[in-house]
Amino acid sequence: MSHPDCSTPLSLEILAGYLRGELDEVHTNATEEHYFACAACAQRLAGLQVLGAGVAELLRSGRLASAVSVPTIERAAAEGLRMQVYRLAPGESAQCSIAPGDAFNALRLAADFHDVEYVDLVTEALTDPAQLDVMEDIVVDRQAGEAVLVYPGDFLRTLPKHTLRVELRGHTRGQVRSLARYTLFHTPTS
């Protein structure tokens, strides 16, 4: 993306990290110095703030199915959003459901993202017929070694009992490889 009004635009990763409070002091100071002097980057930062507020509202209302950052899910919990959280290491499985008052379920999937350029999430519902879904280039927290996914409670409450296979696939220099697989056994709330 071209930024004609700025010869050294701040990356979206830096701007988003700044908004989430994830930058160290040196990077925070450099980011602030730049956007205070640069109208184009200040405008992009303001746009991200508006977008972030909209995403936060969708998350709070349980209407967002997406990959999110670890700090996003931690903030949601700190704000009192009711949720079930399932943390899985590669190869693990979990029995899962959704409680009546929960806004969403969160999956915290551990994997090694070392040397991976980007990650796809592949889910296969073992229903009749089987359903395959691919989310390309999802958000992963490389530092925490997790991909965090949220699924709206209202959607999950409509699902029948089923098994879901989940796979994280890493892309590196044009090659694709499986990073980890997990299995979820969903049971509807009675």
Query: How many CB atoms are located within 10 Å of the residue 38 CB?
Result: 19
Strand 162-172 relative to strand 118-125: parallel, antiparallel, unpaired? antiparallel
Q: Pick out the chain residues at pLDDT < 50.
A: 1-2
In this prediction, residue 32 carries a pLDDT of 92
Provide the pLDDT for residue 11: 82
Which pLDDT does position 22 carry in this prediction?
A: 80
What was the pLDDT predicted at 4?
A: 56
pTM assigned to the model? 0.71
Spans of all domains in the chain = 12-56, 63-186
Torsions phi, psi of 48, nearest 5?
A: -65, -35
pLDDT for the residue 69: 81
Fold of 63-186: Immunoglobulin-like (2.60.40)
The Cα 28–Cα 48 span in angstroms is 16
pLDDT score for 78: 85
